[in-house]
Amino acid sequence: MHQVIQAIGLTSNPRRDLPPAVDDVSFEAHAGHVTALLGACGAGKTTALRLMLELQPGRGITYFRGRPLHRIAHPQREVGVLLGDVPGHPARTVRGQLRMLCCVAGVPVRRADEVLERVGLAGLGHEPLGTLSRGMDRRLGLACALLGDPHTLVVDQPVHGLSAREGRWLHGVLRAHAAQGGTVLFATDDPKEAAGNADRVVTLDRGRLVADQEAADFGRTRLRPRVAVRSPHAERLGALLVKEARAARRSVEVVHEDGNRLSVYGSTCADVGEAAFRHGILVHQLADEIGDTGLAAEAGAAAAPSPSAKTQEAGDLPALPPPVGVRVAADPLRPLRYELLRTSGVATAYLVTAAALVVSVLVSVILARSGHTPGHLVAAAWPQDLPLPPAALGAGLLGALAFGDEFRHPVLAAHRGTVPRRLGLLAAKLLVTGAVALALAVLTITFDFEVLAVVFGGEVARVPADWLSLVVSWCGLVVGCAWAGVLAAGIFRSTMAGLAAVLAVPVLVVPVLQQVLARPSVGTAEGLAVRMRGLSPLQWPLGGERYLTAAVHVIAQPVGGALALSLALLLCAYLLTVLRGRAR
């Protein structure tokens, strides 16, 4: 019983003035077999799959080996899904994409190379996603589905847009998975594909289940041989074929297709060709095909009822299926490794860092040449007319991209569109962006001093006496801007919103704080470190009061205080969004 997929009462939410796309669909897919979900375009196949995978709201329930998907601790290890193109940054490599997804599923990163070998992409691991062909992208999608070594594979339109060779290969992989004891369910609109590659065919029409048959029964009742004919005199040829069949007392059916095409059932290419030759009718095409008899013929046959369907007595009301809740997108089981791979996997972070360094050096040289800017601002490349120095802006952009790229290329939220707001993911992003921003701050100061010393001599590049306080202020500013970008982009789901939040600190928050601090009733933080030391019976080790004093001076400054206040507000807003998401 637990070796099957059981879909019971799948029903999508009603649409305006239209029936639901899927209405009370129930069927089973057995382990060790390939099951096809067949239906024309708009029959409800994709909607049924999304309801099964809890990707959209509706009603019904689906058991995967006895458990609904939301009760499985690690769904990626139970069900592998391929519903469309692979979502990912076009500049990221194939191997980099799979290694990120390994961190999401909590499997070793070496699994990426194993599945690349299995799907025939071992030699394309360094290719960017944006350069892959349709067939290669489909192979990559199948590799993503196989990462967690799942028992079940769910694939929508597996060979859509592929060549016949690629289609045969993909169905071979699905068949091999079923032969190893797995369960395979794929959706298609091609009856021949369903009959040729599935063990059981479940047919939908206008959102309702119309047949649930073994593939052999499906082929016998739905498909039959035909002769495809194309002729400029198709109507005349069809009438002659019917007339000769009646005279010979043979059962021949002639169907007029679009244009000058005929489908002749119950005859052969030789008989049709000879009849055309005898009557001098020109023929442009003559070929044997497997024809689709349509849903009408299938409905005439006895469609097998779904094993999970319940008989209703007269006058009984059917039980309302349970609601389908949309599952939250997967959170990386290894968030820190995921974020490291995400950041280093594309050149964006490197380009932003290099641009910030180059602009900072140029600005510091220009400021030193003008001679009207204080020395510590020259070293930081911070013109008094600009709200923030280039390094702080670059760090803010890096922080905004940390979440902005997630929403633009939703690897974590494939087929959902909403990136999970989890504290583990946030902590990983804050840690990685903080480390990158700190490195950017140190490199900026180092490069600026070196270039100033080379261009203007040691007098201009002289280290100030209060260097500790200045260094702490500088590093705090750059790291704080990066964190503000991370938090704002995570809240507002936009890179531009994250960068705007960084710029809002000096443009909006600082003037407000300056007005508040200018009031005589407002005290200062002068001597706070000494007073805190007096409250403690222990002495500060290793001159810790110096570092505490430097940190207090940073917060006491307008920009430092404004940045700290902004970070506190953004963090509270982020936590509220997390709690609201869990309450739904």
**Cα distance between residue 380 and residue 378, in whole Å:** 5
Sheet with 261-265, strands from edge to edge, namely 253-256, 261-265, 223-230, 285-292
Segment 384-391 mean pLDDT: 88
Six-digit token string for 434: 């903080």
| Model pLDDT, residue 90 | 93
pLDDT in tens, 452-485: 888 887 666 676 777 777 888 889 899 999 999 9
Number of helices followed by number of strands (H, E) in the chain: 21, 14
DSSP label at residue 543 = G
| Model pLDDT, residue 69 | 93
Q: Is residue 353 scored above 60 in pLDDT?
A: yes
Distances (CA, A) of 341 to 314, 420, 542: 61, 18, 37
Segment 433-456 mean pLDDT: 92
Buried b (16+ CB within 10 A) or exposed e, 53-73: bbbbebbbbbbbbeebbeeee
Asked if 329 contacts 416 with a C-beta cutoff of 8 angstroms, the reply is yes
Asked if 352 contacts 97 with a C-beta cutoff of 8 angstroms, the reply is no
**Cα distance between residue 144 and residue 81, in whole Å:** 8
pTM of the shown model: 0.80
- Which residue has 């244009």 as its token pair? 259
| Model pLDDT, residue 18 | 84
Highest-confidence segment of 239-253, 413-427, 486-500: 486-500
What pLDDT band is residue 314 in, cutting at 50, 70 and 90? Answer: very low
**Cα distance between residue 403 and residue 426, in whole Å:** 9
User: Which range has the worst mean pLDDT, 90-104, 122-136, 197-211, 531-545?
Assistant: 531-545
Sequence ranges of the domains in the chain: 232-283, 335-583
Segment 558-574 mean pLDDT: 87
| Model pLDDT, residue 300 | 41
Segment 390-418 mean pLDDT: 88
Highest-confidence segment of 301-310, 322-331, 543-552: 322-331
Helix axes 467-492, 558-583, angle to 10 degrees: 30
**Cα distance between residue 441 and residue 482, in whole Å:** 11
Six-digit token string for 358: 């180059």
What pLDDT band is residue 325 in, cutting at 50, 70 and 90? Answer: confident
Dump the DSSP string for 136-185: HHHHHHHHHHHTT--SEEEEESTTTT--HHHHHHHHHHHHHHHHTT-EEE
| Model pLDDT, residue 145 | 95
Q: Is residue 527 scored above 70 in pLDDT?
A: no
Segment 558-570 mean pLDDT: 85
